[in-house]
């Protein structure tokens, strides 16, 4: 089962100049809590922006070319096949970005861990697809008094119907 974990601003911006546009320690903690002891999947650009293999997780990097291979880190070159092969996997697999990876994984995701950041980034260059949250079931909401402020949400999608694939 695929879950998406992402933080975006009021305009769905997730990145600027190859980096996260904010540093919210509460959000890093939320990410760590949710993903520890699970498998995380990220595009090569996101991996390079983090700059290291995150501990206590199995990391899958997506790249068209062979990249890092290690004990807890593996590179896949055919992301579409990976999504198809694992869509009925009982294990929760976390899709961690960036823009290209979210876009491709969106039709497969059943659970969404969304941090909505109460800001508008100027000149952001990477975006999450503009989803309509009304088409998802809200399972959790927590306002956070961070700088900038944000809200943690968990949304669920019971069944992935063909017409819901883009959640628009
Ligand atoms: N706010 C958040 O929650 C959040 C989370 C994650 C990332 N981000 C931000 O997002 C930005 C990075 O996103 P991005 O869109 O530039 O890059 P990305 O999605 O992290 O990685 C893109 C790379 O993934 C590989 N790739 C993509 N589709 C593929 C496919 N179908 N098959 C095989 N490989 C594939 C390609 O690598 P090759 O070129 O090696 O083939 C491509 O260049 C950064 O600013 C980062 O900080 C934000």
- Nearest residue CA, atom 26 of ligand 1? 63
Q: How far is the CA of 158 from the centre of ligand 1 (A)?
A: 27
Return the CATH fold of 2-163.
Answer: Dihydrofolate Reductase, subunit A (3.40.430)
Tens of pLDDT, residue by residue over 119-162, are: 999 999 999 999 999 989 999 999 999 999 999 999 999 766 54
Among residues of the chain, what percentage have pLDDT more than 90?
Answer: 92
| d(C-alpha 118, C-alpha 51), whole Å | 27
Q: What is the per-residue pLDDT for 158? A: 76
Per-residue pLDDT at 163 exceeds 50: no
pTM for this structure? 0.95
Tokens at residue 25, please?
């320690």
| d(C-alpha 7, C-alpha 152), whole Å | 9
Is the Cβ atom of 66 under 6 angstroms away from ligand 1? no
Per-residue pLDDT at 47 exceeds 80: yes
Q: How far is the CA of 61 from the centre of ligand 1 (A)?
A: 9
| d(C-alpha 22, C-alpha 15), whole Å | 9
| Preceding omega of 148 cis (within 30 degrees of 0) | yes
Count CB-CB contacts under 10 A for residue 64.
Answer: 10
């Amino acid at each position: 089962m695929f879950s998406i974990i992402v933080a975006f601003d009021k305009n769905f911006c997730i990145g600027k100049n190859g980096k996260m546009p904010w540093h919210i320690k509460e959000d890093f903690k939320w990410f760590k809590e949710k993903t520890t002891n699970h498998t995380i999947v990220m595009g090569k650009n996101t991996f390079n922006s983090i700059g290291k293999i995150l501990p206590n997780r199995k990391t899958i990097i997506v790249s068209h070319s062979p990249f890092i291979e290690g004990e807890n880190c593996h590179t896949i070159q055919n992301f579409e096949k990976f999504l198809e092969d694992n869509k009925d996997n009982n294990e929760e697999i976390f899709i961690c970005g960036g823009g290209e990876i979210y876009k491709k994984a969106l039709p497969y995701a059943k659970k969404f861990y969304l941090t909505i950041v109460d800001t508008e980034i100027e000149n952001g260059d990477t975006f999450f697809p503009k989803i309509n949250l009304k088409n998802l079931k809200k399972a959790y909401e927590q306002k956070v008094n961070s700088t900038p402020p944000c809200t943690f949400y968990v949304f669920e999608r019971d069944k992935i119907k063909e017409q819901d694939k883009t959640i628009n």
